[in-house]
Every structure is written in C-alpha cells, then in structure tokens.
Amino acid sequence: MTSILSNNPSEEQLRAVAASHNVTNEQYDGIVKILGRTPTLTEVGIFGVMYSEHCSYCSSKPYLKTFPTEGDRVLVKAGEENAGVIDLKDDWCVVFKCESHNHPSAVEPYQGAATGVGGIVRDIFTMGARPVALLNSLRFGPLKDDRTKFLLNGVVRGIAGYGNCLGVPTVGGEVVFDETYRENPLVNVMCIGLMRKEDMAKGAAKGIGNPIMYVGSATGRDGLGGASFASRELDDESDADRPAVQIGDPFAEKCLIEATLEALKTADVVGIQDMGAAGLTCSMSETASRGNCGVEMDIQKVPMREPNMSAYDVMLSESQERMLLIVEQGSQERVKAHFKRWGLNAVEIGKVTEGNNLKVYDGGTLVADLPVSAITDDVPMYDRPTQKPAYLDQAQALDVSSIPQPQNLQKTLEQLLALPTIASKRAIYRQYDHMVQINTTALPGASDAAVIRLKGTQGALAASLDGNGRYCYLDPYEGGKLSVAEGARNVVCVGAKPLAVTDCLNFGNPMDPEIMWQFKECVRGMAEACVAFGTPVTGGNVSLYNEGPNAAIDPTPVVGMVGFMESETPVTSGFKDAGDAIVLLSIDQAQLGASEYLANICGKRQGKPPQVDFEKHKALHRCMLEAHAKQILKSAHDVSEGGLAVCVAESCFSEKLIGATLDTLPEYERADTLLFGEASGHIVVSCAAEEVKTLRTIAENTQVSCQVLGKVGGAQLKIGTWIEAKVSDLESLWGNSITL
C-alpha cells in the first residue's frame, strides 16, 4: 500500500482548498489536531462538505433540538433516518420530508428545481415507501421582472419535467412573489410516501465484512461541491458555480425507484442510504455512524462517466440517481443481476469494517483515513450571537388612523385578486401531472390542502405546504407560530386531523446576529405551536445564506403539515349550490398589520401579524372536525392573504362560477379592515340553510364564533354596500394574472 502521506499538496494549497469549502483556518487546525497529521486533499474535501451548514447544521442544531419529535404515532424520529415516519392505520405508514434547492435554482433554475425533486423523492423510497405525492413552495421576486420570469419558467419546467416523468403527482403547494426574493428565490419541495410497517428500511451499516454496493447512475463532476455552494451567499459571481448544480435524469430515477423497492423486499439488503448532499462522503459516513462501525471503499470501483476523476472528485460529487446498499455477504451477484434488469449499475465498492473509521482507497493508495465521528457526531457546533434587529420596533409601529381608506373598495378587491401572490396559479400547476397514480381526490387549486386516497382503506392523507415571510419579518416568534397554525388550519378545512410536521427553514447569513435572532425566535414559535397542536416535527431542512449582494431574504420558515381523514372525500373550498348559507367561523379579529393589502395596496410593510392563541385554535379545529364528521359542510376556505373579501371571491370561482351575497357582516371601525384584514383563525364555510342550526350548536359547544354572512347564488359577488361585481369579471382578473 502507498502511504497516506504521499503525493500531498502543500500546506498552503490545502488551506486554500479548505477555504473554498468555507473552512476557516481555525477549523483547519482542528482537523490537523483530530488526525494528528496533515490531511490529504481528499480528507480536506470530506471535512469541508461535512462541516458545511448544509450537512452539519452547525449553527441551527442547538435550536432544532427544541422541536418536539416524539408522539404516539411517531415511528421514526427526526434525524434518525432519511425521513420521518408516522403510523396511520391498518399497518399503513406515511413517510414525508421537505428539502430546499434554493441556490442551485438561482443559477440554473431547470436543473436546480428538477434535482430538488429527485433528491427528496430518493429520501422517501430509501425508507421503503412508494412516493405518492409532491408539493412545492416557490418564492420569487416581482413577476414583472425579466429575471423573475426566467427563473419562474425554469423552475416550473424543472419540477414538471422531473416529477411528471417519475409518475409521482404534484398535488399542491404555494407560489409567492415579493421583492425580498428578487436576488435569492426559494425552491422548497416536499414528498410523501406510503408503506406498510414491515417494509420499512433503515440506513445503518451492519455486519462486519458485509459488502457495500453502489447502485444507480454513474458518477460525474456535476454537483461537485454542492453542499459547500449551498452554504454561502449568492453574489455577482455565483453563475460561476453552475457546475455545482446537479444534472437530473428522471427516467433513471424511475427505474431506481422500482428496482430499489423490489430489492428491499428481499433479505439481501441490510441497509440503504441515498447519495444526496456530499454524495458518497455523506452516505458512507452516515451509514457507518448509524451502525457504529467502520467502512472502507475503493474509488476505482465506482462507475464514472468522466475520465481522470480523482478521489476528491468522486467523494464530493453529487451526481443524481445513486444509492448505497449494504448487502448480505454472498448476495452480490443477485443484487447485480436485479439492478441490471432495470438498466442500472450495481457494483461492489467496499465493505463494512471493525472500528470507527472511514477509509478511502484510490486503487492501491489510501487517500483518506479518518474517524467517522469526526465528520458526523463531533462536527463543530456554534453558539452564534443573536441580537434583536434594529428595524423591528419601527416596522412594528403602525398608526392605522394614518392610512386613508380606498375610495373604491371594489377596485381594491380587483387589485388584490390580480396580485401574482393571490391570483390563480393554474398556469403553473396545469404543467404538473397531478392525477398519475389516480389517488388525488382534491385537484390543485380546489381545496386548502392536497388529499391523497389511501388505497385499501376508507381513509385519505391531507397535506399542505405554507409559510409567510412577511409575518416572520415583522414578528419572527408569532410568524413561526402562524406558519404551523396555517398548516393545521388548511388540513382541518378539508376534513383531516393534523398529525405531524416537516419544514424548510430559509434564512440569511447565520453570522449576522440579527438573522440568528430571527431564526431563534421563529423556531421558538414553531416549537411551541407543534407542542400545542400535538404535531411533532419528523424532519426537514435548514437553508441558510439566502442572500443576494444587497440584502437577505425575509425569514421564511415553510411548514409541511400532514393530516389523516377517515373519509377519502375532502371538503373543497368552492361554493356549491344556490341558497346555501355562507358562515364565518372565527376565534379572533381581523387586522391590517402585516397584511397583503397593507403591503401591496397601501405600500406599507408594517405592523404586527395576527396573534395565535393555541387553545382557541384547537377549539376551531374541534369545531371543524365535528362539522366534517356530521357531513354538514359543503365548502371550507380559510381567510389568509387578502382577507375575507378575497376568500369569498375565491370560493365563488374555485370550482365553478357562482355568486354570493354577504349582507350580514361583522362590525369593524374600518371597512378595509373588515374586507381585507387578515386573521389567524377565520374560516369561511358553506352549508345547506337547514344545517345552520346544527353548525351553530357545534360552534357554541366548542366556543367558536359562528356568524351567517349571507348566501350563495346569482352571478354577482355582493358584499355590503361596497362591492357588487360580476363573478366572471373577478375570475378573469384572478385567473389570467399569471402567464407562462
């Protein structure tokens, strides 16, 4: 064997490589101390990607530990495996997780978004679950900008191009347009999978001497250093990082899904791990860490699609559609033959060893030999300074009396309906296949949450993916609470009980004390809400350094909420029949602070967002679920961006064009607060007139306000004395604002 110390670059060169991975001189000195020698180039690369925020969560982990992670239904907790697992019924489990692909999508939107889909799907089927649904949360700058149009088109095509080819339906999500995301778009993707308990797979290396096999596509230089790229700010030179963006092949991934799920049903596979961020480095070290053992591999045995790839290249590549299997000794030929039938590579690249080291060979040369714990469990953690932002007090101060009310409130409603954030997203979601697998029972845009039929039972899954960056900018603590409350409210609107949460936490530079204060407060609010609602966090993603040359994004936690309903038929948001009563169920008052109306019509990004009272919200959940159980609701739509008037308008044309008359309204000092103010606990429902008495009784028993606003019918939307417009005209504004 050639010595590990042979052919090493100079100390200066090694420190330069370390710096390219955002490794400081102090951290580099720590690596030397851990190893007791100068590291090799490959080792510097391994430490660099594993020390990155993207892999280590070195700034965020202390706060993430405050999330509730246990519950009666939790089968796999956050951080234990590739994705969390929740028990449903009849031995069915749901596997779900959310990930971000923000930086890659900013420099190469098609492949950035496509490989974001591919990566999160692999996290799901690695657990042994069949992926059954995708959702996405997308954020861009103002739609009028040419760059925003370029990014939007590329991201949407990437999601459609990958997800449609996989045969996994894209069923829901959100799209937001705001100045804060002009330089740094957000692309967050959630995947949901289903499996039987007995089919659950684990990602631990076990059995000394068991072979380690590489399966899937060949390794290239695409995605090289992707984890490090995702752990620094975007700047004017970021286009040079385009090679750090992976290139996806959805047809290869479709084959990989089927081949892997079949292989996991055999006794041949002991452990399995996706090659995601940091590629072979992460998959080898994490399986060893979970199995409390060592691993070794030879990069010369790795299938490569480019010539002259070094060990550094191979270990850091983030090429897509690759998996790592630990298999029983003697099963190698069966595994190879199985994956060959699907047109995929399957080669033995190493083995499980005694001890606790990761050893990497390049043929006969040992190029890396380091303790697994040093790059998994013992990476440096930082207690970053925090400081309340200087802008906050002034931003929260709002004198509502200084804001003139619009002369024409109907025109204001029209302006709000045409805002890209509020307007119909059908130009986007119609590019996605949402009916493949024929389990989708609520079409995109028709309900507040996506609903997926659970075959073999009478039940269904509901899921939403939401967040509000402006709320969190103006009050991170309440904004964090609101992000969870919004997800829970969306799920109960369709008739499901909230079960658990995954998240994407999108923030700026963690070395800025004000940004770390925002992060701390958002997580504090989210954690309290998850405890209150009994929705443990099963996993997720932290995306930091979301900044452009001029500013950081608003703090934007995005919450994926999963719920379960006993029926497979959801309640959708659109009004159904003339004569039905329109009812407002509420637990708080609407306000102008932090609203879409205040920001985009009045030009004021000020005030405090709505406050969340957990006990009142749980009462609203009980009210809704009891009404669903009695099957008296025909529609349900929560009041969010744009307020009551927008909510009712959307209910008039979310399924078919039908009018509504609201002539009995809550009392507010200002008409714009009533019509366009936002609340944390308002839901507009409709029911047959004869069911109003039953609904009132349920509301009284759960201490929820229940007010009949008016009735469904006609061709116009009439609200008090302020609004009288043809529904068809309003729908045209709402439906045609976004074109691709």
Domain-ending residue, one of 570, 598, 624 = 570
| CATH code: domain of residue 17 | 3.90.650.10
388 membership: H or E segment, kind and range: none
Neighbours of 33 (CB within 10 A): 9
681/576 same-domain check: yes
Closest CA to 410 of 735, 643, 675, 677: 675
Is 138 part of a structural domain of the chain? Answer: yes
Is 678 part of a structural domain of the chain? Answer: yes
Is 100 part of a structural domain of the chain? Answer: yes
Q: What pLDDT score does 20 carry?
A: 87
Q: Which residues contact 273 (CB under 8 A, 6 or more apart)?
A: 82, 126, 203, 283, 286, 287, 323, 324
Is 405 part of a structural domain of the chain? Answer: no
Closest CA to 634 of 712, 561, 693: 712
Q: Is 531 exposed, middle or buried (0-12, 13-18, 19+ CB in 10 A)?
A: middle
d(CA 461, CA 454) in angstroms, rounded, equals 7
Domains of the chain: total: 3
In the chain, the amino acid numbered 335 is: V
Q: Which of 21, 54, 338, 434 is catalytic?
A: 54
Average pLDDT per 10 consecutive residues for the chain, totaling 740 residues = 52 89 90 94 93 90 96 93 91 95 94 95 96 98 96 97 96 97 97 96 95 96 60 51 71 96 96 91 95 97 94 93 97 97 97 97 95 93 96 96 96 98 97 94 93 88 97 98 98 98 97 98 98 97 94 97 94 97 98 98 97 98 98 98 98 91 96 98 98 98 98 98 98 95
564/578 same-domain check: no
Q: Is 322 exposed, middle or buried (0-12, 13-18, 19+ CB in 10 A)?
A: buried
d(CA 366, CA 394) in angstroms, rounded, equals 59
625/691 same-domain check: yes
216/283 same-domain check: yes
In the chain, the amino acid numbered 308 is: N
232/156 same-domain check: no
**H helices, E strands: number in the chain:** 26, 26
60/206 same-domain check: yes
Is 387 part of a structural domain of the chain? Answer: no
Is 392 part of a structural domain of the chain? Answer: no
Measured at the alpha carbon of residue 138, what is the angle toward residues 434 and 567, in degrees to the nearest 5? 40
For residue 456, give Cα distances in angstroms to 91, 181, 262, 568: 11, 43, 20, 11
In the chain, the amino acid numbered 122 is: R
| CATH code: domain of residue 83 | 3.30.1330.10
Q: What pLDDT score does 687 carry?
A: 98
Is 283 part of a structural domain of the chain? Answer: yes
13 membership: H or E segment, kind and range: helix 11-20
Is the CB of residue 419 less than 8 Å from the CB of residue 676?
no
Q: Which of 101, 103, 434, 628 is catalytic?
A: 101
519/605 same-domain check: no
The predicted model scores a pTM of 0.94
Q: What pLDDT score does 21 carry?
A: 86
Owning domain of residue 38: 1-68+202-379
604/728 same-domain check: yes
717/615 same-domain check: yes
Closest CA to 537 of 88, 96, 55, 59: 96
- Active site annotation includes 103: no
Neighbours of 727 (CB within 10 A): 20
Domain-ending residue, one of 528, 550, 570 = 570
Domain-ending residue, one of 362, 379, 396 = 379
- Active site annotation includes 54: yes
Is 121 part of a structural domain of the chain? Answer: yes
Q: What pLDDT score does 3 carry?
A: 38
638/709 same-domain check: yes
434/363 same-domain check: no
Q: Supply the DSSP string of 248-259, one letter for each residue.
A: --HHHHHHHHHH
Q: What pLDDT score does 240 carry?
A: 46
193/206 same-domain check: no
